[in-house]
Amino acid sequence: MSKQTYTVCFCFTRRFKLAVAEAPGEIRALFDSYSENGIMTVDQLHRFLLEVQGDDKATQEDAEAIMDSLKHLSIFHRKGFNLEAFFRYLFGDDNPPLSPSPKVHQDMTATLSHYFIYTGHNSYLTGNQLSSDCSDIPIIKALQRGVRVIELDMWPNPTKDGVDILHGRTLTTPVELIKCLRSIREYAFVASEYPVVITLEDHLTPELQAKVAEMVTQTFGDLLFCPGSEHLVEFPSPESLKRRIIISTKPPKEYLESKSITENDNGSNKVKDSSEEGAWGKEVPDMKDRFESFDKNDMEDSEHQDEKYLDDKLQQNAAPEYKHLIAIHAEKTKGAIKEWLRVDPNKVRRISLSEPRLEKTVITNGTDIVRFTQRNILRVYPKSTRFDSSNYNPLIGWTHGAQMVAFNMQGYGRSLWLMQGMFKGNGGCGYVKKPDILMKVGPHNEVFDPKRNLPVKKTLKVKIYMGEGWYLDFHRTHFDLYSPPDFYARVGIAGVPADSVMKKTRAIEDNWIPAWDEEFEFPLTVPELALLRIEVHEYDMSEQDDFGGQTCLPVSELRMGIRSVPLYSQKGEKYKSVKLLMRFEFV
């Protein structure tokens, strides 16, 4: 007797009907207060801008321009805004939480050391730190996003007659220096007119340094800033350096004689003796050795490793034309902490600290760092065990005055969101003025201490009404196969330790247009260094919650009132439609 097979079909009704976004009750009440007979006139809108939005410079003409921008919509009433048009204005692109870019509004005439500067680390890498390709493409992308400091690691090419850019002693494939320089020249000022600094990690012989000098001067020409004296007493201002390119590296001093490099039987270069490595460092034959070349506990970048074998070797004269290029002198951090944090009244300089070294130093000498960075420049870079090109908490550096907190821009994650948020400030020009609290010296020579508990200066009140746009930017089944998503929001502060906190709304079930209508208060002791963090996630009972968007905003630049807050992807790319309706107040 034959067996019969029966198929049981489970049918699910997909509930994807999209509700129409409706104005929250508080918005309706505000509209009623600033309208008559269901219509808000230009005069009433102007009063709303002054009294609710806190736009104390708003004019009647501004109110007219807002109304004119919505006249093309079918919902617009000829006499003014009805409720729907008013709601669309508040939730529209013309009502952002920060002043529209580009709008540089901070004083740009102070010395460079008075600014946080948008800084990249290993700017040429397309992916991980060990085996990804080196290219000028990440450099171009960084410059297009407003990054102002580009790092290049210079090594001799395989034939030792040219210069490559690569991450030394790894499997990263090189890109020619000249290609990187030409791309920097082309894209340096597309996002900002303010200066681009190129930090060079130098592993070259004097002969190759002379070639670098020729390439740099020929490529950049009059764009290059070369100071008249060897040491600057004070750094110039970003304003005075508009559309200029600045070179920063250690002035070369000691190198091995080139004769210590010999040819092997196959004609390839190798080090004569393991105790005498060439100027480009030890050659590592395979990935196992490359991994072992990293100290996984607390390793400094290769620039610090190479100095170890360069010390006390035969001195050669560095190419004078190469020395002449260096405008921001970098110094080796050697000796006691107090020594490399000393403030010299006769010259300014830059030092670099690894992420773990900074974390240790702020515990013992945090205020010394703050004092050092009032005149000098501190660059911080990721620990070398971040093979995946991840990043670290930038607030540790910023709250101690570090200007160049260097990040792997090709990655993504919360740390990078903070970096992108900080440099949304000041019109996105890549330079953000350090707050006065980091620049002041008290009557007893005291400076700001981020670890010290201070009284609350002001309280930020944040209300998150609702969100929309996921239905347009995501596939219908992206979050859930059979029903609309269950969105919740996380809202918090990143800043000094006393101010840092995250809070969460409830999840709104089965709704593409979640209406949370929840309010949070954040007491701030140092609002000048605070960033507002916002994330949206979709609750998933059985798996990891899905990502629904994020943004990070400098608290000092928030526009008060009811604002439309656009959200960004994990990689920091702005969504076309996803946004939140929020209200910001200081109380």
Look at residue 200 and tell me whether its pLDDT is greater than 60: yes
User: Residue 251 belongs to what H/E stretch?
Assistant: none
Residue pair 146/165 in contact (Cβ under 8 Å)? The answer is: no
Distance spanning both ends of the chain, measured CA to CA: 82
Residue pair 221/414 in contact (Cβ under 8 Å)? The answer is: no
Report the pLDDT averaged over residues 480-508.
96
Backbone dihedral region for residue 104 (phi beyond 0: left; psi -120 to 50: alpha; all else: beta): beta
Cα–Cα–Cα angle for 459, 461, 466, rounded to 5 degrees? 165
HEC profile for 521-566?
EEEECCHHHCEEEEEEEECCCCCCCEEEEEEEEEHHHCCCEEEEEE
pLDDT tens, position by position, 53-91: 999 999 999 999 999 988 877 676 778 999 999 999 999
Residue pair 529/468 in contact (Cβ under 8 Å)? The answer is: no
Indicate the pairing of strand 487-494 with strand 531-538: antiparallel
Measured from the Cβ of residue 147, the count of other Cβ atoms closer than 10 Å reads: 24
pLDDT for residue 143: 98
**Residues 46, 114, 167, 329: which is the catalytic one?**
167
Higher pLDDT, 119 or 332: 119
**Residues 46, 77, 105, 121: which is the catalytic one?**
121
Query: What span, in angstroms and rounded, lies between the C-alpha atoms of 114 and 117?
Result: 9
Measured from the Cβ of residue 217, the count of other Cβ atoms closer than 10 Å reads: 14
In the annotation, is 324 catalytic?
no
Query: What span, in angstroms and rounded, lies between the C-alpha atoms of 414 and 275?
Result: 43
Query: What span, in angstroms and rounded, lies between the C-alpha atoms of 31 and 84?
Result: 10
pLDDT for residue 310: 45
Q: Is the dihedral of CA 310, 311, 316, 319 positive or negative?
A: positive
* Structure tokens, 98: 């920060």
Indicate the pairing of strand 245-249 with strand 196-202: parallel
pLDDT for residue 320: 87
Ranges assigned E (strand) in 213-332: 245-249, 261-263, 269-271, 326-331
In the annotation, is 203 catalytic?
no
C-alpha 113, offset from chain centre: 18
Domains and CATH numbers, the chain: 25-90 (1.10.238), 112-259+271-439 (3.20.20.190), 458-586 (2.60.40.150)
Look at residue 10 and tell me whether its pLDDT is greater than 50: no
Look at residue 298 and tell me whether its pLDDT is greater than 50: no
- Name the amino acid, one letter, at 421: G
* Structure tokens, 430: 């890549």
Task: Please name every residue paired with 196 in a beta bridge, in sequence order, or none if there are none.
Answer: 245
* Structure tokens, 471: 């239905």
Cis, peptide link before residue 96, omega less than 30° from 0: no
Query: Of the given ranges (194-208, 250-264, 528-542), which has the lowest mean pLDDT?
Result: 250-264
User: Residue 55 belongs to what H/E stretch?
Assistant: none
pLDDT for residue 76: 67
Query: What span, in angstroms and rounded, lies between the C-alpha atoms of 307 and 216?
Result: 24
Query: What span, in angstroms and rounded, lies between the C-alpha atoms of 314 and 302?
Result: 21
Residue pair 377/350 in contact (Cβ under 8 Å)? The answer is: yes
Q: Phi, psi (5° rounding) for residue 71?
A: -65, -25
pLDDT for residue 334: 81
Look at residue 214 and tell me whether its pLDDT is greater than 80: yes
Query: What span, in angstroms and rounded, lies between the C-alpha atoms of 332 and 575?
Result: 43
Res. 216 pLDDT band, cuts 50 70 90: very high
pLDDT for residue 101: 67
pLDDT tens, position by position, 233-243: 999 999 999 99
Residue pair 194/112 in contact (Cβ under 8 Å)? The answer is: no
* Structure tokens, 146: 């407003």
Q: Phi, psi (5° rounding) for residue 399?
A: -70, -10
Q: Phi, psi (5° rounding) for residue 454?
A: -110, 160
Report the pLDDT averaged over residues 402-424.
96
pLDDT for residue 368: 97
CA-to-CA dists, residue 381 to 106, 286, 390, angstroms: 26, 26, 11
pLDDT for residue 317: 63
pLDDT tens, position by position, 125-181: 999 999 999 999 999 999 999 999 999 999 999 999 999 999 999 999 999 999 999
Residue in 554, 431, 472 with CA at minimum distance from that of residue 149: 431
Look at residue 297 and tell me whether its pLDDT is greater than 50: no
Residue in 257, 235, 233, 254 with CA at minimum distance from that of residue 244: 235
pLDDT for residue 18: 54
Look at residue 9 and tell me whether its pLDDT is greater than 60: no
pLDDT for residue 316: 53
pLDDT tens, position by position, 22-39: 999 999 999 999 999 999
- Name the amino acid, one letter, at 293: S
Query: Of the given ranges (444-448, 478-482, 555-559), which has the lowest mean pLDDT?
Result: 478-482
